[in-house]
Amino acid sequence: RELIRFKNVSKQYGEGDKKFYALHNVNFEINQGEYVVILGPSGAGKSTLLNLLGGMDQASSGEILVEGTNIEGYNDAQLTEFRANNVGFVFQFYNLIPTLTALENVSITKDIKKSKRTSEAILESVHLERQMHQFPAELSGGEQQRVSIARAIRKDPLMLLCDEPTGALDSKTGVDILKVLHNLCKEENKTVIIVTHNATIAQTADRVIYLKNGEIEKMTLNEQPLMID
């Protein structure tokens, strides 16, 4: 089932002589439950693409269909509701609130849609049952990222958007985080979209979208994605 479709999406920044395309006529589809990597060098337009998809910013032209509805037609209030109901974000630097415990960081989301699972159950599912009452500064980098993943899935979103989720971690901890994301995708049928410049991570994906200078250079489907184990 198709979840996301980009149709001739462009995003321009700047004015006059300085005007340029961060994204130019981008077209692709993503199916429900896919594990997707958007790969490209710095400045390729990866974060711009993720921000448009997550309703954090709007395109200059084109359509972004999510379950058949063009979110580019949304006003600010509709976009806010779209983000709250449908999108979980995972960032490179976790973005946890330092004065709240792990459990409080996960519970704080006051989104409209209620998750079927409690925050405690979600933290257990990412193996943080012992650390629930610790503050971010008392957690390792990998643990902080697992809290941020737990926070992102608390509202049972349609899609999980991850911007360099392993970028601040050593490689072993990074692999652990990728396993958590992969399990969410395969066991809970979540659509997971990871932005990275790391070509090894791309080998684990079902679908890889290669971005360069704001355009899709190529797109591949991995018949046999590299197993993360």
Residue ranges in contact with ligand ADP by CB under 6 A: 13, 22, 40, 42-48, 131, 134, 138-141, 143
Q: Whats the size of the chain, residue-wise?
A: 229
> In terms of CB distance, is 42 or 224 closer to ligand ADP?
42
Cα–Cα distance, 42 to 204 (Å, whole number): 20
Report which residue's Cβ sits closest to ligand ADP.
140
Specify which residues 17 forms β-bridges with: none
Q: Are strands 69-70 and 61-66 parallel, antiparallel or unpaired?
A: antiparallel
> In terms of CB distance, is 46 or 155 closer to ligand ADP?
46
Q: Are strands 215-221 and 207-212 parallel, antiparallel or unpaired?
A: antiparallel
| Residues in Cβ contact with 68 at an 8 Å cutoff, skipping those fewer than 6 apart | none
Smallest distance from ligand ADP to CB 73, Å: 22
> In terms of CB distance, is 43 or 73 closer to ligand ADP?
43
DSSP three-state, residue 185? helix
Smallest distance from ligand ADP to CB 113, Å: 28
Smallest distance from ligand ADP to CB 2, Å: 24
> In terms of CB distance, is 111 or 120 closer to ligand ADP?
120
> In terms of CB distance, is 61 or 85 closer to ligand ADP?
61
Smallest distance from ligand ADP to CB 106, Å: 16
Residue 83 CB neighbour total at 10 angstroms: 17
Both tokens assigned to 54: 């997550």
Cα–Cα distance, 181 to 144 (Å, whole number): 14
> In terms of CB distance, is 155 or 208 closer to ligand ADP?
208
Smallest distance from ligand ADP to CB 47, Å: 3
Smallest distance from ligand ADP to CB 226, Å: 23
Assess contact for 90 and 153: CB atoms under 8 A.
no
| DSSP state at residue 114 | P
